[in-house]
Structure 1
Amino acid sequence: MEDKTDKKTNKPVDFIKKHPILFNLLLIVLVGCGIIWLTLVALDVWTGHGEYRVVPDMKGLSYEQAVKALDEAGLRAELSDSIYDSSTRPGTVLEQSPKVNAKVKPNRTVYLTINAFSPRMISVPSLTDMSLRQARSTLEGLGFEKIRELYVPSEYKDLVLGVRFNGIELDPGARVPASASLTIVVGEGITEESSDTIVDMAVADDTEAEVLDLD
């Protein structure tokens, strides 16, 4: 009887001895599952799974007030950009991301855009002798949005002769606000009417010269 009992109790040991590779594989799987489970539990604790904060409305607050309000809400503030809006008090929050009432994780960073204290100034490059299309593209690429054209008599059509701001011709490198309204002075080219006018003026000059010679 004792021998039979010993044989029964030694079955797991016998299995391990007979199938060591299979036993090791099973052991690896069990250990791996345990590690994965512990990792998931740790991540839930670390990231605060199931916890969230509601993003408050920061618009209209000063940057300092916004930082304090977000800190009290369990969030962080970061200044991401500044733009100029003449209708809004300088230094106040204009935009935020994430948006108001968004549900986010604790300690999430809320990016703020504030109203600049002065308009952004941009240097206007030399546009003389450029095509109208190229000059407009250059100004738009710099950030100007209010652009108009003024055509004046010139031999070359659509060739830029200069840029004006408030009626004043700008020198290359002049700095103006990004919100400025710029006027591109463009040649309108010689039309048939203007050609006739030029010819008439030339004939008149020749006639006047002949009269003077006769005298």
Structure 2
Amino acid sequence: MSKFLAYLKTSTFRKNLIIAIVSVAVFLLLIFFCLRFYTRHGEGVAVPKLKGLPVEQAIALLESQGLRYQIDSVYQIDKEPGMVTEQDPDEGTNVKFNRTIYLTIITRNAPNVGFPDIFESSYLEARAVLSNYGIKIADTSYTSDIMRDRVLSVTYRGQNILKGDAIPKGSSISLVLGDGKGASEVDLPNVVGLSLPEAIFSLKGSSLTMGTVSYEGSVTDTINAKVFKQYPAVSDSLYKVAIGTPVDLILSNDLPPVPSVDVKKVAP
């Protein structure tokens, strides 16, 4: 230990220490200036304003300032195709020469979307769904249907389209809606011989209403009772009635049902 301390006091140690310190300083300065030269510290250009410019003009401006570019595209219905809508970095940012500037432009070609299932929906429901898909409603027309404003069919460029058909986003379609009036008359069903639940189901399916229900004869089992008569009854002169017409039913357990009348049968 005493020899080491004695060595520290010699001129040889001091000379080697000075050489080492100078060497480290020179090395650090060399690295600093090399990096400064390599990165061109302080040199660069401010990114110009590109948003709102046509893409051709934006590209020419970037190339004139020694900058590169990369383009992505999106589709927006209310934007003019070919316009720059986003840029990265933002305008005014100081960047190196040959830096890549990322541009987002409005594409000229609308992407296709699968037509949504709006059939049997109301007009308000259909309009909300179509808006989410970027599809416009050009006009509407009405046709006979029981439900008001129910979507019955859809046309695009004069052709009927179905769920899943591909059409360009932003397209305008036409809707055919129900008028809520329906047909003025419907076929009168013959429910003679049916049980009461069966008769009710048949009448509702024909858009008719249940009138009065009565029983005739000795009724011991109302569940198994069958329709004996109906008013109005199907006949050669009456086989259509207005929608919503009430039909009265008479049921019985022991009386034979009245034979049904086939209104479509034509006598020879």
More helix by share: 1
Match of 2:100 among 84, 96, 109: 109
Q: Tell me which residue corresponds to 1:93.
A: 83
Q: What are the Cα deviations for residues 163-198 of structure 1, in whole angstroms up to 9, with x where unaligned?
A: 6657964223422221135688999xxxxxxx8x93
SS in 2 for 1:198: coil
Larger Rg: 2
Q: What are the Cα deviations for residues 121-167 of structure 1, in whole angstroms up to 9, with x where unaligned?
A: 3232556689x98x967983xx42658xx9x756xxxx987666579
Match of 1:54 among 46, 61, 70: 46
Runs of at least 5 residues in structure 1 that lack an aligned partner in the other structure: 1-5, 17-22, 188-194
SS in 2 for 1:209: coil
Q: Tell me which residue corresponds to 2:234.
A: 209
Q: Tell me which residue corresponds to 1:198.
A: 207
Matching of residue 80 in structure 1 with residue 69 in structure 2: no
Q: Tell me which residue corresponds to 1:144.
A: 134
Q: What are the Cα deviations for residues 32-61 of structure 1, in whole angstroms up to 9, with x where unaligned?
A: x87776555444333333233122233433
Count matched residues. Answer: 180
Summarize the alignment of residues 20-59 of structure 1 with structure 2, pairs less than 5 Å apart. 39=31, 41-58=33-50, 59=52
* CA-CA distance at 1:85 after TM superposition: 5.4
Q: Tell me which residue corresponds to 2:59.
A: 67
Distance 1:168 1:113 in 2: 35
Contact 1:124 1:174 in 2 (8 A): yes
SS in 1 for 2:54: coil
Contact 2:152 2:177 in 1 (8 A): yes
Q: Tell me which residue corresponds to 2:165.
A: 174
Residue 74 of structure 1 aligns with an amino acid whose one-letter code is G
Runs of at least 5 residues in structure 2 that lack an aligned partner in the other structure: 1-6, 179-203, 213-229, 239-260, 262-268
* CA-CA distance at 1:73 after TM superposition: 0.9
CA RMSD in angstroms, aligned pairs only:
5.5
- With over 3 angstroms needed to count, the CA separation of the structure-2 counterparts of 1:146 and 1:211, relative to structure 1, is same
Residue 101 of structure 1 aligns with an amino acid whose one-letter code is G
Instruction: Give the share of equivalent positions with the same residue, in percent.
Output: 24
Distance 1:47 1:70 in 2: 21
Which structure exhibits the higher relative contact order, with contacts defined as CA atoms closer than 8 Å and separated by 6 or more residues? Answer: 1
